[in-house]
Amino acid sequence: MSGQHRTRVGGVILAAGRSSRYESGNKLLATIDGKAVVRQVTETACKSSLSDAVAVLGHEKVAVAAALDGLSLSVQHNDEYATGQSASVRHGVEFARSAGWDAALFLLGDMPFVRVETIEELLEAYRTGTATVVVPEHEGRRGNPVLFDNCHFDSLASVSGDRGGRDIIETTEKTAFIEVSDPGVHWDIDTDADLAEFTDRRDSL
């Protein structure tokens, strides 16, 4: 596939989880600078050059949808969210197929510190290269979000549990690992302490 056919890349925000380890309720609704974590993630996607975006909701979907009010994106409801992240990935793939995307960038709803510039680096690597999977790395360790060409949609739709696309990343010959300067690709929020620590780190950069 040549670069000129790699133009329609959408973002899938995975925001259906139960936040089982987060002490103060739903981590996606925790706030940073007065803004919900999931809204921070989604605003970053919307500010980038992604062609389209969809948020996959599940646990407390009404409240999470309210946190995204006013943003330009679609919403999918995943009633199987308790079975693991793979159910949300399948919903994202279904939307991507119906929308005719060339590729999908999967963003985790609990990673609000990823920079717009990082998304642009991943998109540039995909649009100008031959990789069918594009993964960010920071200081030699891979992170998120991850981009998958539509040739992997069938495989993504068949995963189970919380494996997500890790097996595809590890077995695909055309996986590109892109070194980025953004530590936010590693900063996922699971606990109150994570939120405080990563916010402090961001503010000190």
Residue from 132, 110, 106, 128 nearest 119 by CA? 106
Domains of the chain and CATH, by start: 3-204 (3.90.550.10)
pLDDT in tens, the chain (205 residues): 444 578 899 999 999 998 888 988 999 999 999 999 999 999 999 999 999 999 999 999 999 999 999 999 999 999 999 998 999 999 999 999 999 999 999 999 999 999 999 999 999 999 999 999 999 999 999 999 999 999 999 999 998 877 668 889 999 999 999 999 999 999 999 999 999 999 999 999 8
Helix (H) or strand (E) holding 99: helix 85-99
pLDDT at 163: 66
pLDDT at 3: 47
What's the predicted TM-score (pTM) here? 0.95
Residue from 76, 83, 96 nearest 156 by CA? 96
Give the amino acid at 42: T
Integer Cα distance of 75 and 190 in angstroms: 23
Cβ neighbours of 40 (radius 10 Å):
19
